[in-house]
Amino acid sequence: MTANTAHAPGLGFRDGARGGRSSECNSLELLIAGINWPPETFLGRLIDGLTEAGVSVTVGSSNRPKERKNQVKWLPTPSWDSSVPLRLSRLARMALRANFCGRRDVKVFGRSIRRNANLRDRLEFWNQLLPYAGRRWDVIYFPWNSAAIAHLPIFDRRSPVIVSCRGAQVSVAPHNPERAEILGGLRDTFDRAAAVHCVSEATLKDACRVGLAPAKARVIRPAVDPDVFRPGPSCPDHNGIFRLVTTGSLIWRKGMEYALSSIRTLRDRGVNVRFEIIGDGPERQRVLYTIHDLGLQDCVWLHGRLRPEEVLHRLREADAFLLSSLSEGISNAVLEAMACGLPVVTTDCGGMREAVTDGVEGFVVPVRDAEAMAATLLRLAGDAGLRQRMGAAARARIEREFSLKRQIAQWLELFNAVLNKDERNDALSHDARLEDCRRAGVASADSLVRAAASNLRQNDKLSTL
């Protein structure tokens, strides 16, 4: 099934979750499970686009959203990190509800409990799964592999499940000896998912190396809204200062030390550069140390997390964008910068060549090569015309290949494909039951199947309580 293909403001919520089988995406009931709120910016964009397309979206998150309108429903999925009395009382309420309207799901989930699990593990297991009991959606979507692995019993329900593969989740995590269980979990999700979404062709190749069947995969690349991320009203005048920006989490995969080494080279070559780092994370102290160790305190600004509108402002004020990552699927930050008309210098990691053509929208340099990074930055710093040409090409490519409208259409196509496949499987199952009845000599096979279908419908009605 292969194909080429921070917080988001304006999202609102209402309680509850209920869906029935739908043949058209404008009445489709979708659960996006295993996420935090507020979601990552790219996920917020996807939720926005799907709701605007008419999809009924429910988000499963542990924290209650502050904004509540009538666009997106909320399924509370409480964490296990609370006092013992609160855990037990909450678990008792969920169990009582499941006893009335989710018995079938409880039976399905119960088959997955480890026989040697202790009491605490069993209680945590039920705390994680009972919120889903007795509720129905047309499609369940896990944007993160790790969340899908933690909710494997949900794959045994009747709703088809889609799982996403994103960069390091399949290129780095499976090879970590301290997380050996990840590889088996990934293969389980690949085997049991109705479809697997990959953010790039490079990510698809990585996923296939750890067990994904290519026929089950669909490549849908990230997207941005070009009406939101757009160039500023005029070219900024920085009085000879070359303003460079990067955004992202401060984690080891971002290779920030190589970016800072390239900035040191620019300074040594006499370039008046200002480098703004937007983002935070566990490597913050290491980044701070490197800034001071290289003597860059006067030209590097470490902003931490900023509001989306502040990020947009700094992108519009910059001359170029730098990505020094060691591993990526396709960087959403790079796409946002390109939409703002910035030329990009990126490392050749993951699927970045699927977004940036070397010498057209920017430059692609080898991973961990600070000298090559510095050389391309020197070219951009000294040639405003080159920056403008590459920035215009970057903006045009976003409009052509990475618009949110295009991405939403691809997701709706995937949902329809999964639903049609599920309906075909239901039809095959129906025919198999008829054949079994005929072979057994049952004269009224059709009436038996109708009775079974009626019983299933009655159970579905109970599950809405």
Q: What tens-digit pLDDT sequence spans the chain (465 residues)?
A: 544 444 343 344 444 444 444 444 558 999 999 998 888 889 989 998 999 999 999 999 887 766 645 578 888 887 777 777 777 777 777 777 776 676 777 777 777 777 667 887 788 777 778 888 888 999 999 999 889 998 888 898 888 999 999 877 787 777 777 776 788 888 999 999 999 999 999 999 999 988 999 999 999 999 999 999 999 877 666 788 999 999 999 999 999 999 999 999 999 999 999 999 999 999 999 999 999 999 999 999 999 999 999 999 999 999 999 999 999 999 999 999 999 999 999 999 999 999 999 999 999 999 999 999 999 999 999 999 999 999 999 999 999 999 999 999 999 999 999 998 766 555 444 444 444 434 444 333 344 334 434 443 444 443 333
Assigned token pair, 223: 């997207």
- Count the residues in the chain: 465
Same domain as 262, residue 151: no
In a domain, 436, yes or no: no
The answer to the question of residue 458 being in a domain is no
- 198 CA to centre of own chain: 10
Which residues make beta-bridge pairs with 244?
275, 320
Q: Angle at CA 116, nearest 5°, toward 111 and 121?
A: 80
**What DSSP designation does 40 have?**
P
- Tell me the C-alpha distance between 82 and 65, whole Å: 18
Report CA-CA distances (Å) from 374 to 194, 254, 260, 324, 367.
45, 17, 10, 11, 13
Q: Of 185, 219, 253, which residue is a domain's last?
A: 219
Query: Of 172, 188, 219, which one is at a domain's C-terminal end?
Result: 219
118 lies in the same domain as 159: yes
Distance CA 274, CA 144 (A): 35
Q: Kindly state whether residues 113 and 202 are assigned to the same domain.
A: yes
Question: Considering the domain boundaries, does residue 139 fall inside one?
Answer: yes
Phi and psi torsions of 434, nearest 5°: -60, -45
> 411: how many CB neighbours lie within 10 A of its CB?
23
Whether 180 is covered by a domain: the verdict is: yes
Considering the domain architecture, whether residues 69 and 201 belong to the same structural domain is answered as yes
Q: How would you class 355 by CB atoms within 10 Å of its CB: exposed for 0-12, middle for 13-18, buried for 19 or more?
A: buried
Same domain, 210 and 274: no
* 203 token code pair: 């990510």
Backbone angles phi, psi at 60, to 5 degrees: -100, 110
**Does 75 share its domain with 126?**
yes
pTM for the predicted model, two decimal places: 0.80
Q: Does residue 385 lie in a domain region?
A: yes
CB 356 within 8 A of CB 344: yes
Which tokens sit at 6? 């921070």
Q: Does residue 248 share a domain with residue 178?
A: no
CATH number, position 274: 3.40.50.2000
Domain end among 400, 417, 441? 400
User: Does residue 246 share a domain with residue 215?
Assistant: no
Instruction: Identify the pLDDT of residue 115.
Output: 65
Domain assignment present for residue 346? The answer is yes
Q: Of 324, 347, 344, whose CA–CA distance to 335 is shortest?
A: 344
Same domain, 297 and 390: yes
- Main-chain dihedrals φ then ψ at residue 80, nearest 5 degrees: -90, 0
Q: Which of 209, 220, 211 is nearest to 166 (CA)?
A: 220
d(CA 128, CA 157) in angstroms, rounded, equals: 15
Strand arrangement of the beta sheet that strand 13-15 belongs to:
13-15, 72-76, 56-61, 29-32, 139-142, 161-165, 195-198, 217-219
Identify whether 208 is part of a domain.
yes
Please, are residues 217 and 201 in contact by the beta-carbon 8 Å criterion?
A: no
Domain extent for 309? 242-400
> Do the beta carbons of residue 223 and residue 7 sit within 8 Å?
no
230 part of a folded domain: no
Q: What CA–CA distance (Å, rounded) separates 70 from 278?
A: 33
| 246/371 same-domain check | yes
Residues 255 and 192 in one domain: no
Together in a domain, 96 and 192: yes
pLDDT of residue 338: 98
| Burial class of residue 76, CB neighbours in 10 A (0-12, 13-18, 19+) | middle
Give strand pairing partners of 196. Answer: 163, 217
Number of domains in the chain: 2
Scanning 357-444, the segments in alpha helix (DSSP H) are: 370-381, 384-401, 404-439
Tokens of 211: 């067990």
